[in-house]
Amino acid sequence: MTKNQILYSLKDYLPLFFVLCFSGNPVFTSTGYSKQLLILFAITFIIYTLSSISSKKVNKPVFRLLLIILCIVILSTFQKYSLGAISIPGVVALVLKITIALFMMLYYQSKEINVFHLYVNLLSILVKISLPFFILNYFINAGIYLPFNDSKTVLFYTSFNRPIDEIRNSGMFWEPGAHAGYLILALLFIIMHNRKFIIGNFKKQALWIVVGLLTTMSTTGFLVLAIIIFIYVFQNYKYGRVIVLPIVFLISTYAYNNLEFLSVKIEEQYTLATEMESSDVSNTRFGSLNMDMQYIMDQPFTGNGLDSKKRYRFHPWINEEVGNGNGMSNFLVFWGIPFFLLWVFSFFKFSLDYSGSIGTAIIVTIIILLVLQGEQFLNYPIFLLFFTATALPIIRYEEQVLDEYI
């Protein structure tokens, strides 16, 4: 691999950027034409990728994709039989999202580009772009109007009409917590690339990603970042950890106790969740988990499907999307425990293949499960790609070349 082969151009970034858009940019996911855009992009991109790569390179990944689709079809059949209804558009959309994620990886495989390294670069670039709009959002709510939460978009940034003390950096996504989750994933790719919790060649990218995380003021993002910093210090400061870890602990404790979106938000949500009755509805992470448990226990193996009437059949007075605040429990409700465990195993296997370290793979998997306690990431291609990621070899760059490039 030569230096010129990792000097990314705008053309290199475009497929990943569009898949990222379908992973939570409101223009692509929250408008009346979102489904049409997804279908159009999927068909166009799949045909383009197939026309430019060898059929031999497609066989194993597509076989893995077909197995995942078969699982979805079997689960949907059981849901239809046991509950009486399924959402065919929802099932088709899920299959398309998993498919475009796989074909994105196939595209970059054919170009000998490490898509996960590219992802880290792209997220750091998007943070730089978001910061001026984030500052501007303190003064005006600019952009094209979106049909939810009094928000507007300029494609690269989603702004909200809120009091100054509630302004947070949502980046190009539907809300700040989503932005934080994708930034955390970028940090995890850095960790997997380096095989342990070190920054290595990604100092500039990591700096911008952390800056972006801090501006999201995301509860989950801050807690996970604190965990990553603790592990980083523990692994890299053999003697200094005696001094550094207590300092990090004191700073973390101070931040938790003095930042309203941490202690107050977590403790209040937890208290409300413990006081919930079975008929109560909640869209917080703890409340959603509590509410979802009765659906998970009722259909633990096959899930409840995507049909809203069946999904909320124990709360029939719900006639619209309530904004589930726990991505993991929501996916468990939809597809059951075995299918979720398949995703967890697939992610673990991918992180093991990428990092080459069982310890790193276990920790990274635990961290990603914490990230899922917030937003609905498993509804989108970037997180769904782990279903099929292990079907492709990981392209690695020579470290000296990476040093020169970065």
Amino acid identity, residue 138?
Answer: Y
Helix (H) or strand (E) holding 151: strand 151-153
- Tell me the backbone φ, ψ of residue 397, rounded to 5 degrees: -95, 150
Using alpha carbons only, give the angle 170, 172, 178 rounded to the nearest 5 degrees. Answer: 50
260: confidence class by pLDDT, cuts 50, 70, 90: low
DSSP string, 158-182: EEE---GGG----TTSSSHHHHHHH
pLDDT value of position 150: 81
**DSSP conformation class of 376:** -
| pLDDT per residue as tens digits for the range 353-364 | 999 999 999 999
Q: Answer yes or no: is pLDDT of 5 > 50.
A: no
Using alpha carbons only, give the angle 353, 25, 270 rounded to the nearest 5 degrees. Answer: 75
Distance in angstroms (rounded) separating the CA atoms of residues 148 and 85 = 28
Mean pLDDT of 295-307: 94
180 contacts: CB under 8 Å, gap ≥ 6: 213, 216, 218, 220, 221, 374
| pLDDT per residue as tens digits for the range 378-401 | 999 999 999 999 989 888 876 544
H-state helical runs in 219-262: 219-236, 241-258
pLDDT value of position 276: 64
Helix (H) or strand (E) holding 111: none
Residue 67: both structure tokens together = 């197995």
Using alpha carbons only, give the angle 373, 117, 325 rounded to the nearest 5 degrees. Answer: 15
Mean pLDDT across the chain, nearest whole number?
A: 87
Mean pLDDT of 280-298: 81
CA 402 to chain CA mean position, Å: 26
CA-based nearest residue to 2, from 396, 401, 395: 401
Distance set, CA 196 to CA 58, 122, 139, 224 (Å): 31, 22, 42, 16
Distance in angstroms (rounded) separating the CA atoms of residues 306 and 311 = 6
CA 114 to chain CA mean position, Å: 18
Mean pLDDT check: name the lowest of 64-78, 83-97, 249-263, 335-349.
Answer: 249-263
Q: How many CA atoms lie within 13 A of 93 on its CB side?
A: 18
pLDDT value of position 4: 37
Whether residue 218 contacts residue 176, with contact meaning beta carbons closer than 8 Å, is answered with: yes
311 contacts: CB under 8 Å, gap ≥ 6: 295, 304, 305, 333, 334
| pLDDT per residue as tens digits for the range 173-230 | 999 999 999 999 999 999 999 999 999 999 999 999 999 999 999 988 999 999 999 8
54: confidence class by pLDDT, cuts 50, 70, 90: confident
93/31: higher pLDDT: 93
Q: Answer yes or no: is pLDDT of 45 > 90.
A: yes
404: confidence class by pLDDT, cuts 50, 70, 90: very low
Whether residue 85 contacts residue 307, with contact meaning beta carbons closer than 8 Å, is answered with: yes
Residue 136: both structure tokens together = 């501007």
Distance set, CA 170 to CA 26, 29, 174, 299 (Å): 11, 15, 7, 35
Helix (H) or strand (E) holding 335: helix 327-355
402: confidence class by pLDDT, cuts 50, 70, 90: low
Answering whether pTM is above 0.85, one says: yes
| pLDDT per residue as tens digits for the range 20-34 | 999 999 999 988 899
Distance in angstroms (rounded) separating the CA atoms of residues 162 and 160 = 6
